């Protein structure tokens, strides 16, 4: 796990940051982009939204990063 150094002390990083990153935002990116929740967000739409500032850009960048996560491995 990655570590951070805080005032000379080595602190372990939090293990479940991914689950906390996605908590409470279920379906919000779909809603902000105006896409039906039953459909997946097209890649070109995610890439365009990731360049926007603010919360919509953060959510889009996280969604792009999550595409590379391997579930159950």
Taking only the tens place, the pLDDT of each residue in 6-29 is: 666 666 666 667 777 777 778 899
Write out pLDDT tens, residues 16-67: 677 777 777 788 999 999 999 999 999 999 999 999 999 999 999 989 988 8
Q: With contact defined as beta carbons under 8 Å apart, do 21 and 13 qualify?
A: no
DSSP 32-61: HHT--TTSPPPHHHHHHHHTS-SHHHHHHH
Distance (Å, whole) CA 45 – CA 33: 8
* Predicted TM-score (pTM) above 0.95: no
**CA triple 55-57-58, angle to 5 deg:** 65
> How big is the chain, counted in residues?
73
Q: Is the pLDDT of residue 1 over 70?
A: no
**Which pair of structure tokens corresponds to residue 5?**
């150094």
């Amino acid at each position: 796990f990655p570590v951070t150094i805080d005032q000379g002390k080595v602190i372990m990083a939090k293990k479940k940051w991914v689950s906390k990153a996605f908590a409470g935002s279920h379906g919000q990116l779909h809603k902000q982009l105006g896409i039906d929740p039953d459909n997946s967000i097209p890649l070109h739409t995610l890439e365009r939204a990731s360049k926007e500032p603010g919360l919509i850009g953060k959510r889009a960048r996280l969604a792009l990063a999550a595409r590379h996560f391997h579930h159950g491995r």
